[in-house]
Amino acid sequence: MKTALITGAGDGIGLATAWRLTREGYVVLAAGRTREPLEALVAGLRGAGHAARAVAVDVADGASVKERLGRLGAVDLLVVNAGVCRQARLDAPDADQAWREVLGINLDGAWNTLKAVAPGMPGGGRVVLVSSGLGKLGRAGYAAYCASKHGVLGLMRALALELAPRAITVNAVCPGWVDTRMARADLDHTAATEGLPAAEVRARAEAAIPVGRFVKPEEVADLIAFLASDATAAITGQAYNLSGGEFGL
C-alpha cells in the first residue's frame, strides 16, 4: 500500500486531495499547522474505512519539519499544498510582514518539506506542488503571493531534474480561482478595501473566467491524482493550468 503526504490537508484543495487519494488506495498522512481540522479529516477517513494519520507541523519552521516529517518513513507521493494569501501593496504598512509570512509558508515551507521528505522517497515516487495562476502572472497588491508561487515553479523545475535519475517525477498544478475558504477570505478583503459587497467582487471575478465559475477543489484533486498515477511516468517539470480558461500561459 502506498503512502501520500499532503501538507495543508485540513482545508480546501488539501482536504479534497486527501479524500481523492483514498480512492487510489493511498494511506494518507494529513499535515498542517492546526490539529483540529486534521483530526476531523482523519476521523472521517477512518470512519469510511481508509487508513490515515494526522501530522501537526508548521512548514515554515525548518527544524520542526525535519523532526516531524523526516521520520515518517518512505513517502510514495508528496503533495506540497500548504499556503496562505495576503494582500499588501508595496507601500502598505504591513507589506514587510505580509512578505515574510507568505514567503515563509508558501516558498520556504515548500523547500523545507521537500528537503525533509524527498531524500527518503522510493524510486518512481511522485511530487506534486500546488502553485497558482499567479505563479505565472502578476496581480497588483499580490506581490508576496505572486513571488512565492513563481518561486514554487522554479523549485519544481529544478528538482524535476535533480530527482529524475531516481524516476521521481516533480510537477505542479496552477489553479485559478478555486472555491475555498482562503479564496473567499481574499474576496472579502478586496470587498472591504473597495467598499463593495462581497457578492459583487465575486461576480466580477467569475465574469473574467470563460467557463463562468470558480474551480472546485475536487477538480484540482483530480488533476493531482492524475499526476500521481502510473500514466505520468514520463511527465516531469511541468506546470498545469486549471483555471476555467482564465489564463493559458
Q: Which domains does the chain have, with CATH numbers?
A: 3-176+216-242 (3.40.50.720)
At 121 the pLDDT is: 97
Q: Which three cell numbers stand for residue 151?
A: 518561486
Q: What is the CA radius of gyration of the chain?
A: 17
Q: How far apart are CA 120 and CA 131, in angstroms?
A: 23
Distance CA 169, CA 191 (A): 40
What residues are annotated to the active site? 145
Q: Please state, in angstroms and rounded to a whole number, the distance separating the CA atoms of residues 97 and 88.
A: 9
DSSP-derived pairing of the beta strands 77-80 and 3-7: parallel
Please list the rounded mean pLDDT of every run of 10 residues in the chain (249 residues): 97 98 97 97 98 97 95 95 97 97 98 97 98 97 98 98 98 98 96 96 97 98 98 98 93
What pLDDT is recorded for position 249?
80
Helix axes 12-22, 35-47, angle to 10 degrees: 20
C-alpha 186/C-alpha 195 separation (Å) is 14
Q: What is the pLDDT of residue 248?
A: 86
Burial class (CB in 10 A: 0-12, 13-18, 19+), 59: buried
